[in-house]
Amino acid sequence: MIRTLTFSTLYPNAAQPQHGIFVETRLRKLLETGEVESRVVAPAPWFPSWASTLSPRYAHYAAIPDRETRMGIDIVHPRFLVIPKVGMALSPFTLAMSAMRAIRAVQRAGYDFDLIDAHYFYPDGVAAAIVAQRLGKPLVITARGSDINEIANFNLPRRLILWAADEAAGIVTVCQALKDELLQIAGSHRPIPESKVHVLRNGVDLERFHPIDPASARQRLGVRGPAIISVGHLIPRKGHDLIIRALSELPGLDLFIVGRGPEEDALRRLAQGLGLADRVRFCGAVAQEDLHVYYSATDILVLASDREGWPNVLLEAMACGTPVAATNVWGSPEVVRTAEAGRLIPQRTPAAIADTVRQLRAALPARAATRRYAEGFNWDSTSRGQISLFSAILGR
């Protein structure tokens, strides 16, 4: 039995059940093999109690319990200090200090682990490297997306990311594009052996995301006719505004937007200004267990992001029989590979989005064929890859 310590600020919690679901799902599927045991240390930012009156975000952090059990997995949530304006520079170190105390407590309680399995390179991976070095434990870090294609563009985080990569016994990326980028960032100055980096893509939970009768789903949600859907945080890089603008060129289609975020008011004003308010429905946050109804009720999922690691939302939609139109960036081409899956959007513009949606609607694949395509992306190969990597590291 391999005993791991899973470390990530992205892990879901009672106050944020949708937060980092992909981290929890990967661990859950790994534990189902019966070959791995784990405890989770998932630090959360600390803010003074009065800060919760300033923002709902702070209130969420305050509501996170100190410890909990989710799906039979024990989780502790130590608090770490985040200092405004200098948080990016200091967070790896305050995170490491907090984590060290929590991990020592886990060990004292009788659980000593073989290795640390950390998710997200910055600040989590850097903090985990500090902890692993002090404890003398091997470390595996998983790169997931913006840690490499955004945060690594800053000088100090990049240097710390490369230091952590040196310290790690193994590195996982969720797509080939992230592996290529990480190796390029390292370059010749601080090269990372290619053999150290393993591509283990995310899978999709085929039980949670499954098709239901489209007519029934449409009736439940009040869908009036042909509709497309966009799912993700309402932030600029997700491109919901581009999809709303594309709707102007797609008469007869409605748009469902699932998610919350700081751009919601601006997006509502945009839809109103373009005369599309009656064709754009803002659905708010939707629980994972209910998303299959939304996918089944709509014809196409549109993802207009400017960067992604491995976009889980694409496979979730496909598993429900809904083909996708996705911008041709980062891991998306590794997900959308056949006509049954959908189409890639060649340019990140409203016109290109509208044109791709029109082409896909003109030759929509059978929903059963799209589901079969998604079934090729279960978690089995990822779990086997993790076990193989962990075993090789511990064997050394």
Q: Is the bond preceding residue 123 a cis peptide, omega within 30 degrees?
A: yes
pLDDT of 58-77, one tens digit each?
A: 567 777 888 999 989 999 99
- Average pLDDT on 147-169 reads 92
Is the CB of residue 335 less than 8 Å from the CB of residue 310? yes
Distances in Å between the alpha carbon of 134 and those of 139, 167, 168? 12, 11, 13
Is the CB of residue 355 less than 8 Å from the CB of residue 366? no
- Nearest Cα neighbor of 61 from 41, 76, 77 is 77
Q: What is the pLDDT, as a whole number, of residue 53? A: 57
**Is 2-203+379-395's fold the same as 214-375's?**
yes
Percent of the residues in the chain that have a pLDDT greater than 90, as a whole number: 80
- Average pLDDT on 164-189 reads 92
Q: What are phi and psi of 83, to 5 degrees?
A: -100, 120
Q: What is the pLDDT, as a whole number, of residue 85? A: 60
DSSP string for 8-55: -TT---SS-TTTTHHHHHHHHHHHTTSSEEEEEE--EEE--GGGGGT-
> What is the CB-side half-sphere exposure of residue 335 using CA atoms within 13 A?
33
- Nearest Cα neighbor of 190 from 154, 168, 167, 163 is 163
Q: Any idea how long the chain is?
A: 396
Amino acid identity, residue 293? V
Global pTM reads: 0.88
Mean pLDDT rounded to a whole number for the chain: 92
Q: What is the pLDDT, as a whole number, of residue 64? A: 85
Strands 36-41 and 2-7: parallel
pLDDT of 32-54, one tens digit each?
A: 999 999 999 999 887 666 555 55
Name the residue with higher pLDDT: 242 or 155.
242
The CATH fold of domain 214-375: Rossmann fold (3.40.50)
Q: What does the longest C-alpha to C-alpha distance in the chain come to?
A: 63
Q: What is the pLDDT, as a whole number, of residue 57? A: 61
Q: Given a cut of 90, is residue 236 above it in pLDDT?
A: yes
CA trace torsion 106, 108, 114, 120 (10° rounding): 30
Question: Helix 126-135 and helix 155-167: axis angle, to 10°?
Answer: 40
**Spans of all domains in the chain:** 2-203+379-395, 214-375
Domain 2-203+379-395, CATH 3.40.50.2000 — does that match?
yes
pLDDT band at 199 (very low <50, low <70, confident <90, very high): very high
Is the CB of residue 175 less than 8 Å from the CB of residue 310? yes
pLDDT band at 354 (very low <50, low <70, confident <90, very high): very high
3 state SS of 249? coil
pLDDT band at 359 (very low <50, low <70, confident <90, very high): very high
- Average pLDDT on 324-345 reads 95
pLDDT band at 14 (very low <50, low <70, confident <90, very high): confident
pLDDT of 115-153, one tens digit each?
A: 999 999 999 999 999 999 999 999 999 998 888 988 988
- Average pLDDT on 8-14 reads 91
3 state SS of 348? coil
